[in-house]
A and B are shown apart, each in its own frame.
Chain A
Amino acid sequence: MKLQDTKGYSVITSWLHAKERQPFLFQEQAWEQIIARRSGLVNAPTGCGKTFSVFLGALIDFINLHPSNYRSKTKNGLQLLWITPLRALAKDIGRAMDEVITDLEMSWKIGIRNGDTTTSERQKQKRQMPEILIITPESLQLLLAQKGYEDLFQTLRIVAVDEWHELLGSKRGVQVELALSRIRGIKKENPCSIIGISATIGNLDEAKEVLTGSVDPQAFTVRADIRKQIDIESVFPDEIEKYPWAGHLGLSLVSKVIPIILGSTTTLIFINTRGMSERWYQALLDECPELSGVIALHHGSIEQALRLWVEDSLHTGKLKAVVCTASLDLGVDFRPVETVIQVGSPKGVARFLQRAGRSGHQPDAVSKIYFLPTHSLELVEAAALKAAAIEGVIESRVPMILCFDVLVQYLCTLAVSDGFYPDIIYNEIRNTYCYQEITPDEFQELLSFITSGGTALQQYDEYKKVEIINGLYKITSRRIAMRHRMHIGTIVSDAMLKVKFFSGGYIGVIEEYFISKLNPGDVFTLAGRNLEFVVIKDMTVLVRKSSSKKSIVPSWNGGRMPLSANLGFMLRRKLNDACEMITANTAATDLELKVLSPLFTLQEELSHIPRADELLIEHIETKDGFHLFVYPFEGRLVHEAMAALLAFRISRITPITFSFAMNDYGFELLSDQPIPVDDTNVYDLFSDENLLDDIRRSLNAGEMAKRKFRDISVIGGLIFQGLPGEHKKARHLQSSASLIFKVFSEYEPNNLLLKQAYHEVMEQQMEEVRLRNMLRRIQQGRIAIQFPKRLTPFCFPIKVDSIRENISSEKLEDRVKRMQLQLEKK
């Protein structure tokens, strides 16, 4: 069947013509695949018709099947399932689809299913499914927890997974994989197409494989060949000598931002964390009060209605600027946006380019992005990003494997609805990318974990969760079922509390972690308002307005992405240029490097600027103790692992205790005794021999695994986060993840969820592969050890930006005694 000859194609193209538009080549290619009922991946950036490449294809397919009555045909059951990572996107997408359906005079209904969908709406959908259902991964899991869910999918023809690159590499992506495996299982006789939509990432083929599962060798890839021109410009401080060497905020450059905002229709200002975005919003208003009313704040903790208002105002061009976080990375385009400002490191090339792409939507318009450094050295990143953009060095998203926590949750989900037969489910999940390596033993262990709760004391156990009834695994207790349903949405970890005014009125949500550190009377900032903390009641933080000038800005735990390997590589290259600029007096091509030359000169004077094949190490002694600074430029996580590894290896030379700190450029070991690293042993200390063993033995793995276990224990159903209204009923069931971790480590060390925590530490935290590559690179290059007399421009940000960890080879008891002695000396 040739696409162009079909009735559907002619209906859709004539609709497009009426709007004076034409289908893009990649859209037609996608439609061809859709009517041939194949699965695959559409690779297209935001804002160039990616939604239509799948949605219009679905319409063509339907019209072709019902050429005479496609307009009047109602109650067709679910035809198109549209999975989207952000619930904020659902409305916009639904609106765009609805316009087309109305224009075509079709009778399709569009439903939205996410955490905000009301119960009555859900009931209505249960009675009669709309033809299109727009859903988040969590809500799709909830759909599988509904009795008789299999029937809903019988009519389904296409599953679209929007922004697949965002989901890939996360546990929500794994939820999608599992749901898709179930849908494939249900529809064995009558398969549907599964189509992912993804921006460009380094591993598109792998992304496709994860989506379609190992079952489909015929899967297609369609690429939109749309290259947008990007113009990158740095915002420079007037005097680089006076610009801080360390920091996160860059607020002293606020005055430079005002003319940029005033000079463009609309500007998006991307800030890395929510806390900092609050500060920036305030600072902009203080600097330029006229902006009041035309600038807004947008981040994940802000009340949804307000966020929607901001998005609407962006569409209509009512706002001059929006200060935002990753919350605006995704989604439909805001045409009025002309300029983007990135404050601080974007941590990766892909993210930077995606943000740049949020500006300049007219055909042939140039995307304009400014890079604003939060400390001097960060300017090198701008130079690195420019080079990366030209060379097209884009990061990969590594898919997750063997997430037992998500699988435990999924099995319980199926047990809540209609129950499941293990053999069937085992075969289904074996075809997913995540669980292709799962062994029968591991699966059996998970089954026994949910049916009998691991090993128990004989005859005194009343463990109850999943029961086996004639081979069917089912949850019969209504209370357990209810609690499970409420927990499906909690894959996005950290307990969040609602923030409300005492007098009523919802402001937003905030991490429990932050609130727990506040005392009543403290003033903090949320959604651009100063609020006085009064009391926590029923999972709600009650606050009063405050006129206090001083306030604490919440530091959110999340959103601390490490520098990507690609950006690290480009950075080392740029430092090489800088080194040549200073030592050989060659002219640098990058303005950023030229501006930074006073800083580089000082660095070279005190210590050294590493070349691309060099590793710089600095020994510095201060009143805090003996510091060792190391600069691999491999991102915070690899540095954390490397610091632990190095500390462990040094501690085998002599009993010594360290604390360490790191940032994206390097790490620091700090001790109260001299650190024995010199030319004689340094290559051994950075060797990749026995890497795995040494990592496992570096004491830190336990601490890191404990942190990973937080999420795992919540997803795996071991922790009840007191949910609104529910926590009172869950009396005497509170416990902390660290306590459960301790208990499992001691009494059930082979538990799969515990093992997963260690596995995640190796794969994600330590980034073992990247760590090994780094060590090999260091071995092949030169290690330069320096003894600067005082702190250098390179080490300064690390010393200030400290996330500290401990490692020790001393006996715990000796350590405590010595720490105590130190205290007494003071």
Chain B
Amino acid sequence: MEAPLPHIIHGQTFWLSAERVLYWEEQKALIVSDLHFGKTGHFRKAGIAVPQHIYKQDLQRLFHQVQHFKAVKLIVVGDLFHSKDNKELLLFTRWRKDHPLLEIQLIKGNHDILKNEWYEQSSITTVRNELVIGGFSFIHDPEEAISCSSESQYCFSGHLHPGITIKGLGKQSLRFPCFHFGEKLAVLPAFSLFTGISQIESRPGDNVFAIVENKLLKLQ
């Protein structure tokens, strides 16, 4: 694993990691999006035999990142859980109980449909639309971020599972998940490995970091 890359926005330092997380140094907060925990379980309950190990690995990656950065806060920019409750989520709640000091804030995404009591029991603070911390706001769907955040705010979002295609001579092309930093809006890569990619369109002046295997590659 390569060392994280620093990225400065409005004078604050955000460390980018190829494990698809962002660490906000000043706030000691780990920022992630689209974890889709319980997705394999949801599929399996419906008779679709996807391997469950991918979920276990997602969990371990998250736990490791929290530990690695010694984060005190976890900001989830939506889609923490994939669907309805299933037994797989116990693996998450068990870890949660062992780490009661970590503050977890969830900006609800379209997949976060669990009952409010569930979040309360797991000590997860939820926000319906927008979380604001200083000059930064967190909104799940970038479409909504465009309309509702104020002029001076910088916004982090997810939802899209952004990816970028790199083209070369001889008509070669490759696709990778990526971090996409626009002028006022960043879209985070989906944390879960059990997710697809949707192509982003970047504008001149944007910063794009492709996640190529275990490394980050700055493209713009």
Interface residues of A (CB under 8 A from B): 449-450, 453-457, 459-465, 477, 479-480, 483, 624-625, 657-659, 670-672, 717-718, 720, 730-733, 735-736, 738-740, 743-744, 746-748, 751, 802, 804, 806, 808, 812-813, 815-820, 822-823
Q: Across the interface, which residues of B come within 8 angstroms of A624, CB to CB?
A: 169-170
Check if A453 sits within 8 Å of B44, measured CB to CB.
yes
Partner of B212, one of A454, A670, A733, A813: A813
**Within the assembled complex, what's the spacing in Å between the Cα atoms of A739 and B22?**
24
Check if B49 sits within 8 Å of A813, measured CB to CB.
no
Check if B111 sits within 8 Å of A732, measured CB to CB.
yes
B168 part of interface (Cβ distance < 8 Å)? yes
Distance between B66 CB and nearest chain A CB, rounded to angstroms: 21
Given A463-B49, A730-B46, 10 more contacts at CB 8 Å?
A: A461-B41, A461-B88, A462-B88, A483-B47, A658-B170, A720-B48, A744-B51, A751-B51, A812-B174, A820-B166
Q: Across the interface, which residues of B come within 8 angstroms of A659, CB to CB?
A: 170-172
B72 part of interface (Cβ distance < 8 Å)? no
Q: Across the interface, which residues of B come within 8 angstroms of A671, CB to CB?
A: 170
Check if B195 sits within 8 Å of A733, measured CB to CB.
no
Q: Across the interface, which residues of B come within 8 angstroms of A744, CB to CB?
A: 50-51
**Who on chain A is nearest to B110 by CB?**
A732
Check if A461 sits within 8 Å of B87, measured CB to CB.
yes
Q: Across the interface, which residues of A come within 8 angstroms of B195, CB to CB?
A: 739
Partner of A460, one of B50, B91, B172: B91
In the A-B complex, list the 10 residue pairs whose CB atoms are closest, starting with the nearest: A819-B168, A453-B49, A465-B47, A747-B51, A732-B83, A463-B44, A659-B170, A747-B53, A748-B51, A672-B169
**Within the assembled complex, what's the spacing in Å between the Cα atoms of A624 and B39?**
45
Check if A461 sits within 8 Å of B52, measured CB to CB.
yes
**Who on chain B is nearest to A730 by CB?**
B46
Distance between B20 CB and nearest chain A CB, rounded to angstroms: 15
Q: Across the interface, which residues of B come within 8 angstroms of A818, CB to CB?
A: 168
Check if A743 sits within 8 Å of B51, measured CB to CB.
yes
Residue from B52, B90, B173 with most neighbouring chain A CB atoms (10 Å):
B52
Check if B170 sits within 8 Å of A670, measured CB to CB.
yes
Distance between A257 CB and nearest chain B CB, rounded to angstroms: 35
Partner of A822, one of B44, B52, B169, B217: B169
Interface size in chain B (residues, C-beta < 8 A)? 44
Check if A456 sits within 8 Å of B52, measured CB to CB.
yes
**Who on chain A is nearest to B174 by CB?**
A816
B9 part of interface (Cβ distance < 8 Å)? no
B68 part of interface (Cβ distance < 8 Å)? no
Check if A732 sits within 8 Å of B42, measured CB to CB.
yes
Residue from B83, B171, B210 with most neighbouring chain A CB atoms (10 Å):
B171
Check if B41 sits within 8 Å of A460, measured CB to CB.
yes
Partner of A454, one of B49, B91, B167, B168: B49
Q: Across the interface, which residues of B come within 8 angstroms of A720, CB to CB?
A: 48
**Within the assembled complex, what's the spacing in Å between the Cα atoms of A456 and B196?**
22
B73 part of interface (Cβ distance < 8 Å)? no
Distance between A735 CB and nearest chain B CB, rounded to angstroms: 7
**Within the assembled complex, what's the spacing in Å between the Cα atoms of A180 and B46?**
30
Q: Across the interface, which residues of A come within 8 angstroms of B48, CB to CB?
A: 717-718, 720, 733
B70 part of interface (Cβ distance < 8 Å)? no
Q: Across the interface, which residues of B come within 8 angstroms of A746, CB to CB?
A: 54
Check if A822 sits within 8 Å of B168, measured CB to CB.
yes
**Who on chain B is nearest to A481 by CB?**
B47
B119 part of interface (Cβ distance < 8 Å)? no
Check if B213 sits within 8 Å of A743, measured CB to CB.
no
B194 part of interface (Cβ distance < 8 Å)? yes
Check if A739 sits within 8 Å of B172, measured CB to CB.
no
Check if B54 sits within 8 Å of A813, measured CB to CB.
no
Q: In chain B between 80 and 103, which residues have their CB closer than 8 angstroms to a CB of chain A?
A: 82-83, 86-88, 90-91
Distance between B53 CB and nearest chain A CB, rounded to angstroms: 4
**Within the assembled complex, what's the spacing in Å between the Cα atoms of A22 and B55?**
70
Check if B210 sits within 8 Å of A816, measured CB to CB.
yes
**Within the assembled complex, what's the spacing in Å between the Cα atoms of A515 and B166?**
24
B184 part of interface (Cβ distance < 8 Å)? no
Residue from B46, B90, B174 with most neighbouring chain A CB atoms (10 Å):
B46
**Within the assembled complex, what's the spacing in Å between the Cα atoms of A456 and B47?**
13
Q: Across the interface, which residues of B come within 8 angstroms of A804, CB to CB?
A: 171
Distance between B167 CB and nearest chain A CB, rounded to angstroms: 7
**Within the assembled complex, what's the spacing in Å between the Cα atoms of A450 and B173?**
37
**Within the assembled complex, what's the spacing in Å between the Cα atoms of A823 and B50?**
39
Partner of B168, one of A456, A465, A823: A823
Q: Across the interface, which residues of A come within 8 angstroms of B167, CB to CB?
A: 819, 823
**Who on chain B is nearest to A825 by CB?**
B169
Check if A463 sits within 8 Å of B169, measured CB to CB.
no
B63 part of interface (Cβ distance < 8 Å)? no
